[in-house]
Structure 1
Amino acid sequence: MHTVWKGNLSFGLVNIGVKLHSAIEEKDVKLISLHKDCLVPIQHEKIAPGCDDDRIEANDIIKAYEYRPNEYVLISNEELESMKKAYEVKSVTIISFVQLEEIDPVYFDRSYFLSPTGGSEKAYVLLRQALERTGKIGIVSISLRSRQHLAVIRAHERCLILETIHYPDEVRTVDMVPNIPADDQITIQTKEFIAATTLINQLTVPFVPADYTDQYRTALLDLIESKIEQHDVQSKPILSPTSERIATIIEALNASIEQTKSTAKPKPVHKSTQVTS
């Protein structure tokens, strides 16, 4: 499993060498865009509308922040790299412990498995068992993929798992959502409420992740497999050189061979010459 991050996890004065591995495997069916006539993949070129340059090269692109319409603060690659190094977290310290139920699911972002490095197995198991016994999770700060993240560490089966969470200012408030009715604006009859709660209770089951599948992805894969089995596929035509061009190449090769024969002369071998393999 690919290592995303490697460093130390500090639990008080206890240091645990850990590796971070992505717990998520994207299962999207990747479709590409082709030109329908020649089946050539469509290229998305970087252009600057209104600029004299037809195509933009990578070294012509700079980073900037638009602080007012059409007004920018330019930030160089050197400045970005300097800040990344200054704020990169190589050692993670558990800042505090909280109850998992205190964090609303809207804050959770991405999950990673934590594995111990050599010699840290005992401390790793100790932290995992302590989290299991207390029912707590640890709050940490970590640098991943060129940005700093707030994250939690919790026990997950026999493993420790790290989950990045959004900062409070990244999560929009309910007040920003339009047309949310207040309870005093809507009248709910008692029999309606009883019927709704009864239905919820009847549909309540233990959560088994394996019971849920991506039906769209499954149907799309079935469609692709069906088309392959029915030979309903298209192949991009391979353009062959013309026979005239082939003849020219062959003539050139033959001429080269003949030229080599006429100019090649056997090299004299002296008795003092040593041949090594």
Structure 2
Amino acid sequence: MKAIWSGAISFGLVNVPVKLYSATEDHDVELHQVHDKDGGRIHYERRCEICGEIVPYKHIERAYADEEETIVLAREELDSIPQERDREISVVEFVPSEQIDPMLFERSYYLAPSGKSPKAYVLLRRTLEKTEKTAVVKFALRQRTRLAALRVRDNVLLLQTLLWPDEIREAEFPSLDQSVRISAKEMQLSAALVKSFTDDFKPEQFKDEYQEQLRKLIEAKRRAGDAIDTDETFGDEEDKGVEVIDLMDALKQSVERSRKTKRRGTRKTSASKKRATRAS
């Protein structure tokens, strides 16, 4: 992995030299825009609206524009902002982890020790683990002051940038203000449905079906060209639509279906264990 930022975590007089690495990556198949007539790639030009010339990146600056004027900000001027030159991740406070609303989480980054000795890094990591606290920190990255949560994941310090409170929209939906009557039977069936789906969260058992089907379509197109039959390619994988039924019936059928699925899964697991026992 390539570090995208380097600096130091500071809390009190303690400094922890670190490097910042992206903790996530995109697994999507990259698609380009092309001309449907001949397959030629579509490119976007950086053309000046005044002189009409195509402008290379080295001659492009940033600007703030309002109704009255445009204020051009040169690279050197943007780089002169004190926060932009600050290479410090400052601990603001330590808070109980459950107090941070998951909706505030934005991007995740790993922090690795960069100094000669990782002692200060390990000390901070163990302190966070022992106190079961999350550090709220501030730092500058990519022309923004960032608020972030600093916590431990698999013996590594994890930095998760947070949205600012004014970036979260209020949930204002008039339909939720209506008075709705839920019967005891509906509540009972709903709770039973939740129980039948209850399990430990194992993210590795889930997959991105859309990307898998997109890759399947690309491979089929590679083999068959324009003569591809999408119905034959996907077969029963296509969405047949959802039948609209009564809520009570839907709850009953869902509970029964979930129970049957669980029973089949239990039988398969038992059979696999028996085969493994006989084989050993």
Q: CA deviation at 1:190?
A: 1.8
- For residues 50 and 133 of structure 2, what CA distance do their matches in structure 1 show? 59
2:84 and 2:143 in contact (8 A); partners too = no
Taking a change above 3 Å as real, the CA distance of residues 54 and 119 of structure 1, as seen in their structure-2 partners, is: closer
SS at match of 1:125: helix
Cα gap change, 1:143 to 1:62, in 2 (>3 Å): closer
Percent identity over the alignment is 36
CA deviation after TM superposition for structure 1 residue 73, in Å: 4.6
Contact 2:83 2:145 in 1 (8 A): no
Residue 80 of structure 1 is matched in structure 2 by 78
Shift of 1:60: 6.8
Please say if 1:134 is aligned against 2:131.
yes
Residues 152 and 42 from structure 1, CA distance in 2 versus in 1: closer, same or farther, beyond 3 angstroms?
same
When normalised by structure 2's length, the TM-score is: 0.72
In 2 relative to 1, CA 86–92 (structure 1 residues): closer, same or farther, beyond 3 Å? Answer: closer
Partner-residue secondary structure (3-state), 2:43: coil
Q: Give the aligned residue type for 2:24.
A: I
1:161 pairs with 2:158:
yes
- Matched residue type, 1:80: L
Aligned to 1:22: 22
Partner-residue secondary structure (3-state), 1:128:
helix
Partner of 1:198: 192
Unmatched segments (≥5 aa) in structure 2: 227-280
Aligned partner of 2:118 in structure 1 is 121
Tell me, in whole angstroms, the C-alpha distance in 1 between the residues paired with 2:92 and 2:157: 16
Q: What CA RMSD, in Å, does the superposition of the two structures yield over aligned residues?
A: 2.3
Q: Which has the higher helix share?
A: 2
Closer/same/farther in 2, CA of residues 160 and 47 from structure 1, 3 Å limit = same
Report which of the two structures shows the higher radius of gyration computed on alpha carbons: 1
Give the structure 2 partner of residue 218 of structure 1.
Answer: 212
* TM-score, reference length from structure 1: 0.72
CA contact (8 A) 2:11 2:91 kept: yes
Aligned length: 223
Match of 1:173 in 2: 170
Shift of 1:113: 0.6
- Residue pairs, 1:255-270, within 5 angstroms: none
Any conservation in 2 of the 1:17–1:120 contact (CA below 8 Å)? no
What is the CA distance between 1:81 and its match in structure 2? 3.0
Please list every run of 5 or more consecutive structure 1 residues that lacks an aligned counterpart in the other structure: 234-277
Q: Distance in 2 between matches of 1:159 and 1:37?
A: 51
**Change beyond 3 A, Cα 1:37–1:180:** same
Partner Cα separation in structure 1 for residue 123 and residue 198 of structure 2: 35
Partner residue, 1:7: 7
Find runs of 4+ consecutive structure 1 residues off by over 4 angstroms. Answer: none
Counterpart contact for 1:16–1:120, Cα < 8 Å: no
